[in-house]
Amino acid sequence: MVQLRGLRFGDDQIAFLFGLRAGGVYGIPAFTAEREGDVVRVRMPGARLRNADGSPSYHGEREVRPPEGRIARVTIEEDASEGVIMVLRGMRSACPQTAVRRYGLGSTHPAALVSVAFRDGPVVVFDPDGGAPGFPMQVVGLGFTPSAPVAFQSDGRTVWTSHADAKGLLDTIMYVPPVAPGLHRVVIRNAARSVASWFRAE
């Protein structure tokens, strides 16, 4: 059993972030993605919104509107038998593409992401996704051109650089740049591939 910790949005993409229940066997939750008209339902029977002690693992809103893109609205539901159900609305023609990855949150806590995208290209999440200038944000990605440099660009300038590994995975720490408080779009470029995401400055 894993607990939903948060959501992250990219361009026409959403990632669900999970953590491990204390004492549990860690793994990525099983899920299905089903489309009906402009609605996609992602069902995760092995996921929950609460920790083993009953405290909430997810502290965000149950209905969220992404900053931009074709995903118009995301609703989070929980069912005793079906687990966590994500309802994505607004995609009239695109087919969902899913990707998963395990990673370490910091140096000690296992974590995982499940991505649902409505375009080709890499997936990137910031975990955590913001803070005061100088605050470290863990960056986790997949689907990049293997063994190639990666540049992070925001507000017309390069704010961080890194390198994808031989499998096209990205693991780095980006520090919140000295920018005005609020939500900031960042484009992550790698060879011929690029993806957009967001971070918050306090």
Same domain assignment for residues 80 and 7: yes
Domain boundary (89, 107, 134) is at 89
55-75 average pLDDT score: 93
Same domain assignment for residues 140 and 69: no
What is the distance between the alpha carbons of residues 73 and 56, in angstroms, rounded to a whole number? 22
- Count of domains observed in the chain: 2
Query: How does pLDDT run across 66-77, given as a tens digit for each residue?
Result: 998 889 999 999
| Domain assignment present for 179 | yes
What domain range includes position 154?
Answer: 121-201
Same domain assignment for residues 193 and 135: yes
* Per-residue pLDDT at 28: 82
Same domain assignment for residues 134 and 181: yes
| Domain assignment present for 11 | yes
| Domain assignment present for 103 | no
The domain spanning residue 168 has which CATH number? 2.60.40.1930
Domain boundary (66, 89, 112) is at 89
| Domain assignment present for 158 | yes
Query: How does pLDDT run across 160-176, given as a tens digit for each residue?
Result: 999 999 999 999 999 99
* Whether the predicted model's global pTM rises above the 0.85 cut: yes
